[in-house]
């Protein structure tokens, strides 16, 4: 008997449940992984623990009455959820939004993108093993954004600020000076994170070449947002299908090359810089005027259907509405970026180890409230 034959061990695959209550599952989500030792052979995503029937609830509420429930979808980016739903109702009912309201909406949407990416990058770095230092650095800057949200609507998590036809109220006098102060300090904070992380040898070892999502696979799976752009898909609805007044702003779309965890991380950091560019322009150009169109309390759109989408921080967020000329949607369906982006996880983790699974999963950036609805 040869030495090789003597050293060969017979192994059998076994199943490991990760979650649903686990600090690295980013919510109540379970991964049933089939392993050969530490190597992942297959993975079955199991969700539904947070399902609340939000789309069905929309059919029992008025068009305006559903706005607060959109906050509970992606609860890391509620402003974007508010905006996406209002865009769909406005398209369905043919409502024109005042100029000032459009600029305020874009300011809120880009601040929300910054806040989302602070959480996305910070928690991702924690998943890579950095414990809490980078996360708390980014959480600190997110708190400054929440101060701005608190200033305009009195809330720090579920905002309910957007309205069909505009926003609930105008920004206070102190908001723009506070925003200007934030825009003055945030670029320096991003540079500080870059010095800490960009060339960190542990981060590079954990993310470079890990969890590659090929460009063709990303397109075929309908992946969007930073996950798709990290794979080289140059697609951003703010440029490719402009909504609101995004066509008035100058900004670039960061795109990766390899499609690995590192590229997805880099795209989000660069997107933060571009959001600062948009915010600077919007703050300078914001016009005077009303912040909400004259819209009846009970909106009754003509019978028909409409779909509106926007570039949310996690990808394409869409709302499909059907009207039967009543005061409530006949049907409502959400196109959630988190759920669609999650569909590629199985292909991304095969052949990698359990420790890599946590890093790959964290690089997708999902919110389970949006996945389950």
- With 0-12 / 13-18 / 19 or more C-beta atoms within 10 angstroms meaning exposed / middle / buried, residue 5 is exposed
Position 9 confidence tier, pLDDT thresholds 50, 70, 90: low
User: pLDDT tens-digit profile of 73-120?
Assistant: 988 899 999 999 999 999 999 999 999 999 999 999 999 999 999 999
Position 22 confidence tier, pLDDT thresholds 50, 70, 90: confident
In a 3-state reduction of DSSP, which class is residue 31?
strand
Question: What is the average pLDDT score of the chain?
Answer: 89
- What pLDDT does 196 receive? 86
Contacts of 277 (CB under 8 A, 6+ apart): 249, 250, 251
Segment 164-171 mean pLDDT:
91
- What pLDDT does 6 receive? 56
- The number of CA neighbours under 13 Å toward the Cβ of 1 is 5
In a 3-state reduction of DSSP, which class is residue 331?
strand
232, 257 Cβ separation under 8 angstroms: yes
First to last CA, the chain: 59
Provide the whole-model pTM: 0.90
Residue 297 pLDDT more than 90? no
- With 0-12 / 13-18 / 19 or more C-beta atoms within 10 angstroms meaning exposed / middle / buried, residue 287 is exposed
- C-alpha distance from residue 212 to each of 51, 255, 338, 361 (Å): 30, 14, 18, 12
- Range from 7-11, 32-36, 119-123, 355-359 carrying the lowest mean pLDDT: 7-11
Beta strands in the chain (DSSP E): 14-18, 30-36, 39-46, 162-163, 166-167, 304-312, 315-323, 331-335
User: pLDDT tens-digit profile of 107-165?
Assistant: 999 999 999 999 999 888 888 888 778 888 899 989 999 999 999 998 888 889 999 98
Helices (H), 15-98: 54-58, 67-70, 78-93
Position 49 confidence tier, pLDDT thresholds 50, 70, 90: confident
40, 65 Cβ separation under 8 angstroms: no
Closest Cα partner for 197 from 254, 142, 277, 128? 128
Q: Percentage helix, strand, coil, to 5, in the chain?
A: 50, 15, 35
294 vs 292: CA distance, rounded Å: 7
Q: Give CA 341 to chain center in angstroms.
A: 10
Q: In what order do the strands lie in the sheet with 304-312?
A: 304-312, 315-323, 331-335
- What pLDDT does 2 receive? 58
Q: Give CA 282 to chain center in angstroms.
A: 21
Residue 330 pLDDT more than 60? yes
227, 218 Cβ separation under 8 angstroms: yes
- What pLDDT does 334 receive? 92
CATH 1.10.645.10, domain 3-372, yes or no:
yes
Residue 3 pLDDT more than 80? no
Closest Cα partner for 372 from 77, 68, 54, 81? 54
Share of the chain above pLDDT 90, in %: 55
Segment 330-357 mean pLDDT:
90
Torsion of CA 334, 336, 339, 343, to 10 degrees: 100
- What pLDDT does 47 receive? 86
Residue 226 pLDDT more than 90? yes
Residue 176 pLDDT more than 90? yes
Position 199 confidence tier, pLDDT thresholds 50, 70, 90: confident
Segment 46-62 mean pLDDT:
89
Segments making up each domain of the chain, as ranges: 3-372
364 vs 345: CA distance, rounded Å: 8
């Amino acid at each position: 008997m040869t030495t090789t034959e003597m050293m060969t061990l017979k192994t059998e695959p076994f199943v490991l449940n990760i979650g649903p209550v686990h600090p690295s599952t980013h919510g109540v989500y379970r991964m049933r992984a089939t392993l050969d030792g530490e190597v992942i052979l297959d993975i079955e995503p199991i969700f539904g623990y947070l399902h609340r029937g939000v789309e069905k609830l929309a059919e029992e509420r008025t068009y305006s009455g559903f706005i607060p429930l959109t906050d509970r979808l992606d609860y890391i980016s509620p402003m974007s959820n508010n905006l996406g739903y209002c865009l769909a109702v406005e398209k369905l009912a043919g409502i024109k939004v005042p100029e000032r309201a459009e600029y305020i909406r874009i300011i809120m949407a880009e601040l929300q993108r910054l806040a989302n990416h602070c959480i996305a990058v910070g928690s991702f770095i924690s998943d890579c093993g950095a414990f809490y230092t980078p996360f708390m650095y980014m959480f600190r800057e997110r708190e400054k954004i929440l101060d701005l949200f608190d200033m305009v609507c009195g809330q720090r998590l579920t905002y309910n600020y957007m309205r069909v036809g505009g926003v609930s109220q105008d920004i206070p006098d102190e908001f723009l000076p506070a925003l200007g102060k934030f825009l003055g300090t945030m670029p320096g904070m991003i540079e500080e994170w870059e010095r800490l992380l960009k060339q960190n040898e542990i981060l590079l070892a954990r993310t470079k070449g890990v969890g590659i999502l090929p460009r063709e696979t990303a397109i075929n799976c309908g992946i969007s947002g930073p996950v798709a752009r990290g794979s080289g898909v140059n697609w951003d609805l703010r440029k490719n299908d402009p909504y609101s007044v995004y066509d008035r702003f100058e900004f670039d779309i960061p795109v990766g090359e390899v499609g690995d965890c590192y590229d997805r991380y880099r795209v989000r950091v660069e997107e933060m810089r571009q959001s600062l560019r948009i915010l600077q322009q919007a703050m300078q150009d914001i016009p005077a005027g009303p912040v909400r169109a004259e819209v009846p309390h009970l909106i009754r759109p003509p019978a028909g259907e409409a779909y509106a989408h926007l570039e949310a921080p996690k990808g394409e967020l869409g709302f499909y509405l059907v009207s039967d000329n009543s005061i409530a949607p006949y049907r409502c369906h959400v196109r959630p970026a988190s759920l669609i982006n999650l569909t590629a996880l199985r292909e991304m983790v095969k052949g990698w180890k359990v420790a890599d699974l946590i890093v790959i999963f964290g690089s997708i950036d999902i919110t389970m409230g949006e996945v389950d609805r």
